[in-house]
Structure 1
């Protein structure tokens, strides 16, 4: 982890560099811990006249399944099943994210889940992963086609 401030600066400098040869920049984000940095960097790029936005991969359909749980494990079972050790899958913290977020801000994921799992990967299936992947792609395509960055730079 390089920290939010450092990541925001890296995104800002990368965005400036990319805009010298590309008309538009989209940052695809798959980690909730990056959101604050994106909300700092992308609006600044936009205020500098660059057509930039970010897109969040919304995998969790449940606030108790946000990291290496059912959804993410299902996606990997669909996309790269050879990378999943189903025999090692174990249920992690399943309390809703709003309940555990304060502890995570203070002590990271380890403060609420020694394994790092937030959810239950033991219920994951490739079929659910295929469904989720289709949903992610359709959502991304719709937001890209509309290209409506909000005030925070996120595509709506």
Structure 2
């Protein structure tokens, strides 16, 4: 059975809903710089891949087309940025939720691969709770630190958390080498900021990414590889699926 809404015809959607597929996963990405070696669509491609993997754990789920625009003002100054205000993104999520509720969806899973979307999605949850209280809404919420599962995978290969990084570092580059190696610019991945990743987040909010890294990288992508990228993606989905099943998301 098709699970990707973008590829389905309306009768197929109707049959899927009648058959119990009433969960919709909405992948949220961004269009922003990811260093000199990764494409602007990195977060969108990762979000879509994570959503597809999540359907293996959620048999009643359909995957919506990804939203390619997020809240990315911290990347101001880097060419190519296309973004939204947090209120705009929250309203877009609300509008989409209204429509999917109308054709029978009862659960919405917001899966963001971009940390800058956090405040917008928190606002969206407030709006949804007020207007659509009957809709069960969940979201992933681990944007400002490197997940322990990824650190564990990396440490087995002798990689440090500062290499993994929070943006365009080893972890995201490895994931892209697995997903879209044709879009990774070989030889252009260089280390950027490699200090305390959690401490730098507040600086990014106030001063932007340029204040911390000239090349737009938080981490060191030089030892990235596709095999580890697949493991990172699987670990991220396993963690989020566990939270959903436990009702913590």
If the length of structure 2 is used for normalisation, what is the TM-score? Answer: 0.54
Q: Check the 8 A contact 1:91/1:117 in 2, yes or no.
A: yes
User: Which of 38, 44, 48 does residue 121 from structure 2 map onto?
Assistant: 38
What residue ranges of structure 2 are gaps of 5+ in the alignment?
A: 1-82, 152-160
Contact kept, 8 Å, 2:177 with 2:225, in 1: the verdict is yes
Q: 1:91 to 1:63 in 2, by over 3 A?
A: closer
Alignment pair present for 1:135 and 2:220: no
- Given the alignment of the two structures, is residue 69 of structure 1 paired with residue 169 of structure 2, yes or no? yes
CA distance in 2, matches of 1:19, 1:107: 39
Deviation, 1:63, is 6.5
CA distance in 2, matches of 1:109, 1:69: 14
Measured in 2, the distance between the counterparts of 1:113 and 1:141 equals: 33
CA distance in 2, matches of 1:145, 1:98: 28
Deviation (angstroms), 1:139: 1.9
Give the corresponding residue for 2:88: 6
Aligned to 1:29: 112
Please state how far the C-alpha of 1:95 moved relative to its aligned partner: 1.9
What SS is found at the alignment partner of 1:132?
Answer: helix
Aligned to 2:19: none
Q: RMSD of aligned C-alpha atoms?
A: 2.2
Count of aligned residue pairs for this structure pair: 149
Deviation at 1:41, TM superposition (A): 0.8
Gaps of 5+ in 1: 150-154
Matched-pair contact (CA < 8 Å) for 2:162–2:220: no
Q: Which secondary structure does the structure 2 equivalent of 1:53 belong to?
A: strand
The normalised TM-score by structure 1 is 0.83
Give the C-alpha shift of residue 10 in structure 1: 1.7
Q: For CA contacts below 8 A with separation 6 or more, give which structure has more relative contact order.
A: 1
For residues 14-52 of structure 1, the C-alpha deviation after alignment (integer angstroms, 9 at most, x for no partner) is 222222221111111011100011111113313431211
Task: Find the partner of 2:222 among 122, 125, 129.
Answer: 122
The structure where helix makes up a greater share of residues is 1
Whole-angstrom CA distance in 2 between matches of 1:121 and 1:17: 40
Q: CA 1:63–1:14 in 2, change beyond 3 Å: closer, same or farther?
A: farther
